[in-house]
Amino acid sequence: MAILAVNAGSSSLKFSLHPLQDGQVQPHVLSGCVQGLEPGGSPVMDWKYQGQKQQEALGVPAGAASSFAVALERLRVLVQSLQGADIQAVAHRVVHGGGVFTESVYVTDAVLEQLARFNSLAPLHQPHNLAGIRQFRAAFPELPQVACFDTAFHANMPEVDYAFALPRALREQGVRRYGFHGLSYQYVMSVLHAQTLRGRGRVVMAHLGNGASLCACKDGVSVATTMGFSALDGLMMGTRSGSLDAGVLLYLLEQGWDHGRIEKLLYKQSGLLGVSGISADMRALRADGSADAQRAIAQFTHRVVRETGALIACLDGLDVLAFSGGIGENDAVLREQVCNRLAWTGLRIDAQRNRQADGHAAWAIHAPDSRVEIWVVPTDEGRVAAREAAALLESGQALDRAAET
């Protein structure tokens, strides 16, 4: 028996298959991604099974409902060919649950209708997450579909952190901070709890990638995070601006910019790409070496340091700093620069161990005399989503309740 965890994007589908053993979710045995699912695209499926990598171009025959439907059928055949894996549920990563969904739920028509109301809060993700769920419901009607929310991990943040300084009427409409990357933070926190007693203390986790955020936890509970009402706030990202003076938006409106142009600027033309004018990929910027590339890297690093300092203040100190995400797991230079800037906390990085971190397993990179532990923890959002789905199945929450709609 196994849980299939998926993350549907605008033109891609990530997937991982997690066996269930004695009721416990195991690390994935199959993982992969289908790219090129946009209309008119040429989809290609890459996957890894038992250490072996495979790639296959997926032909889309004339008359096919969509390239996504073709990909799902190929995924079904692939999974069934792997020792007869018996899928118990499909677990979907959904970026925004608003203030309504603070834990994972079975997907129903009513749930989908409610989640669609949050599309404007995460336009790069939410509509595509929901479109993926609809496609899976059609392709796998016999399986329960479970929605797992990136916002849920932050549901218990104190009001002083989640509330904006706006009139009550707007707060009552749901205009507040929600926070994201919750599935990643949930996984990193579970690893820290298993690796170190300090993981139950004052922890700052840095999920650094194309999307980037920080989260402050105390006793395993999120108390503050850099992302807010949408996935735009906080750190500078690959193509997103991060925190921005609202006066800039008022200025752009006065200059005649409309909603669509502003949205494109903030979500797709800013961040590392906007500052450098070269790329949103940190690896490409490191390799470029130009002044523009260095400017973007320096600004990204500075924002991580600045926001980490703010979260340390929220925690009244720091016991553990953990790096995750594509940049956090793989960019040793950034980790070293950030940690050196935070040396005032008593934090000391071990340069050799930092270089040895390979992004495949949790790895401590603090020096013996460091008063703060530093970890690199490769994240696994799919495994968390699979755990959430397995917990729903185990809880006995009736599927017929989910089927009411």
Tell me if 328 is assigned to a ligand binding site: yes
Q: Using the Cα atoms of residue 358, residue 362, residue 367 and residue 372 in order, give the sign of their dihedral.
A: positive
CA-CA distance, 106 to 147, in Å (whole number)? Answer: 6
381 in a known ligand binding site: yes
266 among the known binding-site residues?
Answer: no
- Judge whether 156 is annotated as a binding position: no
Q: How far apart are CA 206 and CA 55, in angstroms?
A: 32
Q: Report whether 56 belongs to an annotated binding site.
A: no
The answer to the question of whether 210 is labelled as a binding residue is yes
Collapse the DSSP code of 86 into the 3-class scheme (helix H, G, I; strand E, B; otherwise coil) and give the result: coil
* Rounded Cα gap, residues 92 and 98, in angstroms: 16
Q: Which two tokens stand for residue 100?
A: 């309504």
Is 281 labeled as ligand-binding?
Answer: yes
- Please state, in angstroms and rounded to a whole number, the distance separating the CA atoms of residues 103 and 327: 28
**236 annotated to a ligand binding site:** no
Where are any strands of DSSP class E within 346-386?
Answer: 363-364, 373-376
Count of residues making up the chain? 405
Q: How many helices (H) and strands (E) does the chain have?
A: 16, 15
Residue 207 labelled as part of a binding site: yes
Q: Is residue 148 within 8 Å of 91, Cβ to Cβ?
A: yes
354 a known binding residue?
no
Q: Is 3 within any annotated ligand binding site?
A: no
Report the alpha-carbon distance of residue 325 to residue 2 in Å, rounded.
25
Return the closest-CA partner of residue 146 out of 331, 378, 352, 388. Answer: 388
Cα angle at 81 between 75 and 87, to 5 degrees? 65
Ligand-binding annotation for 14, yes or no, is yes
- Catalytic positions are 150
Any binding-site annotation on 282? yes
The answer to whether 340 is annotated as binding is no
Annotated binding site for substrate: 93
Write out the binding residues.
Answer: 7, 14, 93, 207-211, 281-283, 326-330, 381
Q: Which residues are annotated as a binding site for Mg(2+)?
A: 7, 381
Binding site for ATP, residues? 14, 207-211, 281-283, 326-330
